[in-house]
Structure 1
Amino acid sequence: MLFLVHMHVQIPPDADKDMIERKKAEEKAYSQNLQHEGKWRHLWRIAGEYANYSVFDVESNDELHTLISSLPLFPYMKVSVTPLAQHPSAIVQN
């Protein structure tokens, strides 16, 4: 199942800087592992924002929820999810 996920990170200005840097490093490793596994298929930064659009390829809504909520920066995120389906006019089918 494919999902388009928008993640907008909102770290409070008074958050501990060292803790946030550790979480960022953990998140990078975690997200790259999911990319290598093929579950996090695309990761696109939104220019000028601490946000991204991503495409996940997972087995279920529950798996997606588990992956996203396991992100180290998840407590600081606003997340929206859009399920995707094949378009009948698309030349390339996934």
Structure 2
Amino acid sequence: MEFLVRTENPLPNDTPGEVRDQSKKGERERAVGLREAGVLKRLWRVPGRSAAIGLYEVEDPATLHDALVSLPMWKWMDITVGALATHHQGKKP
């Protein structure tokens, strides 16, 4: 199944710089791992925001949940998930 996942990553304003830097580094490393595992297919940064849009491909929603909560910053994320289906492009089913 494919999912379009939108994340906002607002770390609390009082987060120390060192924690902020380590969180971002961990996030990048985990994204690379998800990409290598074939779970994260594409990732786009949203200009001007601390946000991203990702295309994930997993067996089921539970597997997607596991992938998302494995991200170091997940506890601060506002996450919106949309399941994707193949478009028939005008063809009758």
- Is the TM value for this pair above 0.5? yes
How far apart are 1:71 and its partner, in Å? 0.5
- Spell out structure 1 runs of 4+ moving beyond 6 A: none
Letter aligned with residue 67 of structure 2: L
Question: For this pair of structures, how many residues does the alignment match?
Answer: 90
Counterpart of 1:77? 77
Secondary structure in 2 aligned to 1:7? strand
How far apart are 1:36 and its partner, in Å? 1.6
Give the whole-Å Cα distance in 1 for the aligned partners of 2:45 and 2:87.
24
Structure 2, gaps ≥5 residues long: none
For the pair 1:65 / 2:55, whether they are aligned, the reply is no
How far apart are 1:72 and its partner, in Å? 0.3
Mapping for residues 1-94 of structure 1, pairs under 5 Å: 1-89=1-89
Secondary structure in 1 aligned to 2:54? strand
Aligned-CA RMSD value: 1.2
What CA deviation, in whole Å up to 9, does each residue of 1:4-53 have, x standing for no partner?
Answer: 00000111110122112112111111101111221100100111111011
Give the whole-Å Cα distance in 2 for the aligned partners of 1:13 and 1:45.
21
TM-score of the two chains, using structure 2 as the length reference: 0.91
Give the whole-Å Cα distance in 1 for the aligned partners of 2:22 and 2:65.
23
How far apart are 1:59 and its partner, in Å? 0.6
Secondary structure in 2 aligned to 1:41? strand
How far apart are 1:80 and its partner, in Å? 0.4
TM-score of the two chains, using structure 1 as the length reference: 0.90
Aligned-pair identity (%): 30
